[in-house]
């Protein structure tokens, strides 16, 4: 069963995502659906990772207090500053 979902996003994000989907010959709905399926899977095992990605696991050692969400937010804010 397919159900409609309404999302509120920045216009620039929507336009960029539409271009991304178009370049891949997919609808934006299918891209979002695929992403949501990926993040909602409870059992993410190394078998499901691409070999190149699996080899990278554990390569970087970060301090215990490292807050990746905070750092990601700062990096994204810097990337889109002035866009």
Summarize pLDDT for 39-71 with one digit per residue, the tens: 877 555 545 778 888 888 888 888 889 998 999
φ and ψ at 9, to 5 degrees?
-135, 160
Checking if the pLDDT of 34 tops 70, the result is: yes
User: Is the Cβ–Cβ distance between 21 and 35 less than 8 Å?
Assistant: no
Element holding 63 (H helix, E strand): none
Hey, what are 9's tokens? 């996003």
State residue 54's pLDDT score. 81
Comparing CA positions, the residue from 67, 80, 82 lying closest to residue 9 is: 80
Does the pLDDT value for residue 74 go beyond 80? yes
Task: Give the three-state DSSP class for 22.
Answer: helix
Taking CA atoms, 25 is separated from 13, 33, 44, in Å, by 18, 15, 27
User: Domain extents for the chain?
Assistant: 11-80
């Amino acid at each position: 069963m397919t159900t409609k979902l309404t999302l509120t996003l920045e216009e620039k994000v929507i336009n960029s995502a539409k271009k991304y989907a178009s370049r891949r010959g997919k609808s934006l709905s299918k891209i979002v659906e695929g992403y949501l399926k990926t993040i909602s899977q409870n059992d993410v095992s190394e078998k499901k990772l691409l070999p190149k990605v699996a080899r990278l696991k554990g390569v970087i050692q970060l301090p215990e207090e490292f807050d990746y969400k905070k750092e990601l937010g700062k990096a994204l804010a810097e990337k889109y500053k002035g866009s």
